Amino acid sequence: MTSASGVGPVLILACGNPSRGDDALGPLLIERLSLDLDLARCGVETLTDFQLQIEHVLDLQGRKRVIFVDAAVGGPEPFTFLPLRPSPDASFSTHALAPSALLALFRQVNGQAPPPARLLAIRGYGFALGEPLSERASANLDRAVRFLPRLLRAGGGVGGPI
C-alpha cells in the first residue's frame, strides 16, 4: 500500500557499516525484515545506508511514520526504542547526521513538521574493522527482529502511534 505521494506510509531507515562488526546491526535488521513480505503489503518500506546524509530528507517526505535503526555502543540490552524530536546539530557540514538533526533539517527544508519518528538502538559491543557480528549483538538483533514486526502489525507503525 502506498500513499498518494507514491511512498509507503512507514519508512524504516537503518544505518551501519557491515564491515565493522556490530555496526552491521541496522543493515542486518533490514535484511531480515525484507524476508517478511507481509510488512511490505502493510506499506512498510526499508532503506539502508552507511550513515544518515542530508539527502535522506527526501526519503522522509510523504511518510506517516519513520523508524531509524542503528547500533548503540552503550545503553540497555537488547535495545531501546525511543521517540525522536527535531534537534539542530552542527554536524550538517560533516555529511553525517544524527536522526534528530535530520528531522530538524526536514522541517527547515520543507517548512513543515517532520513525520513522527523513533529510534531503535540495538546494543552492540565490538565495532572494529573486519570484526564479525558478536554473539551478544546477534542475540540482541534476534530480539529486535521479533519486536519490530509485532509492533508494526499491531498498528504501532502504520497509522498508529509509535
108 band by pLDDT with thresholds 50, 70 and 90: very high
CATH number of the domain bearing residue 16: 3.40.50.1450
Report how far residue 114's alpha carbon sits from residue 67's, in angstroms, rounded to the nearest whole number: 12
Report how far residue 117's alpha carbon sits from residue 66's, in angstroms, rounded to the nearest whole number: 5
On whether residue 158 sits in a domain, the answer given is no
On whether residue 121 sits in a domain, the answer given is yes
> How confident is the model at residue 37, as a pLDDT?
84
88 band by pLDDT with thresholds 50, 70 and 90: confident
Report the DSSP pairing between strands 117-123 and 79-84: antiparallel
Number of C-beta neighbours around residue 30 at 10 A: 17
- Count how many domains the chain has: 1
- Percent of the chain residues topping a pLDDT of 90: 76
pTM higher than 0.85, yes or no? Answer: yes
Q: Which domain holds residue 40?
A: 10-153
